[in-house]
A and B are shown apart, each in its own frame.
Chain A
Amino acid sequence: MIYVNAQVLKKVYSIFNMTIKQKSILAAIFVLVVSILSIVRFIVPLQRTLMEELVVNTTNSFVQKQLDFLVSMINSRIEYVVAHTYMLADDPLIAKSNEEFDKMSQVDIQEKLDYGDSIWENPEESMVSDVLNNPLSETLKMHFNAMGFYKQKYGHEIFTEVFITNKYGATLATTNKTSDYNQADEEWWINAKQKDIYIENIVYDESSKTYSIVVGSSLKDTNGNFVGAVKAVLTVEDIIDLAVMYNKPTDTYQNIDLLLLTKNLQIIYPQEKSSDPYIQYFVTKYGSTFEKDTILKNELIKDTCLNDPEKNCIFNYATMAEVNNLKWILVISRYEDVTNIAINKAKNISFVTFSILSLGTIILFSFLMLSITKQLFKITDTINKVSSGDFTAKVEISTKDELGMVATKFNNMLDIITKSKIFEETILQHIEYAIIIINMDRKILFINNAAIKLLQFSQDTNEILNTNYDDLIEFYKESDGKINNTFIENTLSGKSKMEAVNIELLTKKNKKVPVECTASTIRDKQNNPLGSVIIIRDITEYRRIGRAKSEFVSIASHQLRTPLASIRWYAEALSKGMGKIDKPTKSQKEYLQVIYDSTLRIINLVNSLLNVSRLEVGTFKISPEEILLHKVMSEMIQSLAPKIKEKKLKIITECDPKVPPVMLDKDIMGIIFQNILTNAVKYTLKGGTITIKGQYIVGDVLLKKLVNYKGNTGILISITDTGLGIPEGQQKDIFTKLFRADNIKKVAESGTGLGLYTTKLIMDNIGGAVWFDSEENKGSTFYLLLPETGMEKKDSSKKLEFSE
């Protein structure tokens, strides 16, 4: 699990490593997914609910309208009947008939009524024809048949049957032949008498094939007394037809099923009755619901469609409030698909809208991101240019947004850098030494004019830049031919500063120029190496001056030697009384000795100066041969024996038998040993000890003191005395030319101040090292370190002088 979590974490962190482009794409996808999910989760169901409610409401209001229409139409027709019969209440025929009946007994009335019924089928009877043709009947026909207007208009009468009874139920006048004379026992008549108005349910009359409604109304005189009743049978088919026609299925309600039922569940519409599946359906399933007087507005009944069992239908129904004593129910069923289609339509619209919006957003976003990344690329391009050295590069963003600000600041910074860089470059360009800067890949990053001049390049500077320095710089050692650039390589791999002297640089015109070369490591603030600065000094002139100096010193010393030799020899001759000269007195001899010693010192000084001059120019002969160092040392001790004896010094020599014979110039080693040993003898007090050790060292850190030496073996010679030592404050100057420490000046007046300087020059020249430890009044130890490879052979006309 930990592994899995780590993996997940890794992936999460990897987001932070993405480019802005990737991040923004991810963000856009995230927004899209969230939007789609929220649409699916919230908006679509909400839309569905809203749509269903809308459909239900619309359907309900439609249903209600249908009912209202029907009711108002029927009401107006009933009103017509009531209004017209109201006028007839004062008809004299009614009053005359009532007066006639009033005079009769109850039994007589019944008899008359029964008699009327019995002869009613026979129009020949005067009583019957009297009713059918009396003026009231004519008035009725005029009012309700409207001289055939309705028949002409609808193809049938609107008021199919209208007749009037007296207050005892006897038919007085009629538009058509009625079924009975006596209406008093009829339901409509009883109701009309009691309730003033009676309206029966609509019925479908099979014979006339029309929908009819029976309306009964009581007739009252001006005093409000019941005087009779009117019955009218109204056709409502045209009204229903009209309702159906006006509310034809539309695009939305293409699956409307209109069904009209009475509250007694008598079908009103459509005509097929008993076999009608609607009736059966409602009666069996929802019959009880219709007893309610409420309009079931938001109640949905979902079930299989009656006319298409494979589909679901939603039923809406509304009951009509009581109109007189009439209650109707209107049912509409529609396919569920209608809702779904509408919802799908809405869904599609919202998806299309959303998609367009999302797409638009993404495109806009992409354009924005594109422009941002484009700007960013401009900045990185410039940075790349700058890092490859083109400081004239500028970020060209003219917008005034944040990126524009970044660009402006960047350009300002670049200006400052360029100015300081130009300043630095100008300084580097105008330094007279050849300066070449390389990176860790050995590629040239910078080369100044002096370098180009020295190397005699004819190429453009830009062609030299970024090429490998090895291809351009070739060094030669005066005697050994081409040398590799190890000393420069060393600065790239750890050593901070390397020097190469007495070398020649091969120019592009195949000329060899004597040079000195220094390579120094360039480091950043964390001390990591970045490359190397190579400084090459043309020492042609220096050499010339050096040679001239050397020549001068050489000639001067020759010239000095002749008088010095005569002084020396004449002093010698005088003090010894040569030839015819008298022997000097004791005091004369002492004086002559001073002259002699001083002359010797001048001679030594002349010789030492000659050595120094040769060493400084680096032109002296080295003839290495295989020698045993302890032998050279012994010879040197031997030559100093008189002085050692005089001072009663103890000499201890310890030589490691592992020290092998080394290729060295015997004379030069003699000069070195002589310089160190002479000092040790000179500055060690009587009875002191001088210890000389020779060691063979392998892989020691001390070997790092040997510049340019790659081997790991060397020979270390140490000469320890118990002498005056070197004052601490003067130790740093001990190897400088003509320097003599204060404490030894008091003890020994003689000394050129050139011995240790010469030694150091020689050791540096032959690739060795010399250093010391010292404590004043306790003694000094001088160390001489030589590579096991010894000295390199060098030809020269000059040889180092061996002074006494």
Chain B
Amino acid sequence: MAYILIVEDKIFLSNIMRVRLEDEGYRVKLASDGKEALKLLEEGIPDVVLLDLIMPNMNGFDFLAQMKENVLYKDIPVIVTTNLNQNEDMIRVKAMGVTEYIVKSDITMDELEDKVTKIVKKNTNSHN
């Protein structure tokens, strides 16, 4: 069973994402900021991280930077789910090795699930 880590400070958004992904059979854990997410990473390596960028305590950028520094975590696929649509933000995070960049309001839940599933499947296949 694939494990999805959602890093999102707005609980009402992370909750609905969890509902949709759990419906699809994924194991979902929530973190409300980067620090919390880093702690959760120690407990287990997720198949996909859904990462918001603007968060209190530790924002998405900082989390990404620390995650990528760690050999154990650096290959975890990350889908940035944000409301920032500045070109520079997209360029910045893509340069940091992000798999997908999604503006939350521009996508349906089904589309989000579809993207997650595609990455999970792809990784499963490559492991096999």
* A-to-B contact residues, CB < 8 Å: 554, 557-559, 561-562, 564-566, 568-570, 572-573, 578-579, 581, 603, 606-607, 610, 621, 796-799, 801, 804
Contact B16 A804 (CB under 8 A): no
Q: Given that A562-B13, A578-B19, A578-B23 are known contacts, is A572 also in contact with B87, CB under 8 Å in the complex?
A: no
Contact B23 A603 (CB under 8 A): no
Q: Closest approach, in angstroms, between the C-beta of B113 and any C-beta of chain A?
A: 10
Q: Given that A572-B108, A572-B110, A603-B105 are known contacts, is A566 also in contact with B16, CB under 8 Å in the complex?
A: yes
Contact A579 B23 (CB under 8 A): yes
Q: How big is the B interface, by class?
A: 20 to 34
Contact A566 B106 (CB under 8 A): no
Among A564, A568, A606, A796, the residue within 8 A (CB) of B108 is: A568
Chain B residues whose C-beta falls within 8 Å of the C-beta of A578 in the assembled complex: 16, 19-20, 23, 109
Q: Given that A570-B16, A573-B20 are known contacts, is A554 also in contact with B86, CB under 8 Å in the complex?
A: yes
Contact A558 B84 (CB under 8 A): yes
Residue on A with the closest CB to B12? A566
Chain B residues whose C-beta falls within 8 Å of the C-beta of A797 in the assembled complex: 86-88
Q: Given that A610-B85, A797-B86 are known contacts, is A569 also in contact with B106, CB under 8 Å in the complex?
A: no
Contact A562 B104 (CB under 8 A): yes
Pairs across A and B, CB under 8 Å, 23 listed: A554-B86, A557-B85, A559-B83, A561-B103, A562-B10, A562-B83, A565-B13, A565-B104, A569-B17, A569-B108, A570-B12, A572-B109, A572-B110, A573-B16, A573-B20, A578-B19, A579-B19, A579-B23, A607-B85, A607-B106, A798-B86, A798-B87, A804-B106
Report the separation of the CA atoms of residues A621 and B20 in the bound assembly, to the nearest whole angstrom. Answer: 36
Label chain B's interface by main secondary structure. Answer: helix
Contact A564 B105 (CB under 8 A): yes
Chain B residues whose C-beta falls within 8 Å of the C-beta of A570 in the assembled complex: 12, 16
Contact B84 A569 (CB under 8 A): no
Pairs A-B, 6 closest by C-beta atoms = A561-B83, A579-B19, A799-B87, A565-B104, A797-B88, A561-B105
Among B12, B19, B105, the residue within 8 A (CB) of A568 is: B105
Report the separation of the CA atoms of residues A607 and B108 in the bound assembly, to the nearest whole angstrom. Answer: 16
A-B contact count (CB 8 A): 72
Chain A residues whose C-beta falls within 8 Å of the C-beta of B54 in the assembled complex: 558
Report the separation of the CA atoms of residues A790 and B90 in the bound assembly, to the nearest whole angstrom. Answer: 26
Contact residues of B between 85 and 112, Cβ < 8 Å to A: 85-88, 90, 103-106, 108-110
Residue on A with the closest CB to B103? A561
Report the separation of the CA atoms of residues A796 and B86 in the bound assembly, to the nearest whole angstrom. Answer: 10
Report the separation of the CA atoms of residues A328 and B90 in the bound assembly, to the nearest whole angstrom. Answer: 155
* B-to-A contact residues, CB < 8 Å: 10, 12-13, 16-17, 19-20, 22-23, 54, 83-88, 90, 103-106, 108-110
Residue on A with the closest CB to B17? A569
Report the separation of the CA atoms of residues A367 and B12 in the bound assembly, to the nearest whole angstrom. Answer: 108
Residue on B with the closest CB to A798? B87
Q: Closest approach, in angstroms, between the C-beta of B115 and any C-beta of chain A?
A: 14
Contact A565 B83 (CB under 8 A): yes
Q: Closest approach, in angstroms, between the C-beta of A597 and any C-beta of chain B?
A: 12
Q: Closest approach, in angstroms, between the C-beta of B93 and any C-beta of chain A?
A: 14
Q: Closest approach, in angstroms, between the C-beta of B103 and any C-beta of chain A?
A: 7
Among B16, B23, B88, B90, the residue within 8 A (CB) of A569 is: B16
Chain B residues whose C-beta falls within 8 Å of the C-beta of A579 in the assembled complex: 19-20, 22-23
Contact A603 B106 (CB under 8 A): yes
Residue on B with the closest CB to A606? B105
Report the separation of the CA atoms of residues A299 and B43 in the bound assembly, to the nearest whole angstrom. Answer: 167
Question: Beyond the given A562-B10, A565-B104, A799-B90, could you list 7 further A-B residue pairs with CB under 8 A, ordered by the A residue number?
Answer: A561-B83, A561-B104, A566-B13, A570-B12, A572-B108, A799-B86, A799-B87
Contact A573 B109 (CB under 8 A): yes
Q: Closest approach, in angstroms, between the C-beta of B62 and any C-beta of chain A?
A: 19
Report the separation of the CA atoms of residues A799 and B87 in the bound assembly, to the nearest whole angstrom. Answer: 6
Q: Closest approach, in angstroms, between the C-beta of A328 and any C-beta of chain B?
A: 148
Chain A residues whose C-beta falls within 8 Å of the C-beta of B10 in the assembled complex: 562, 566
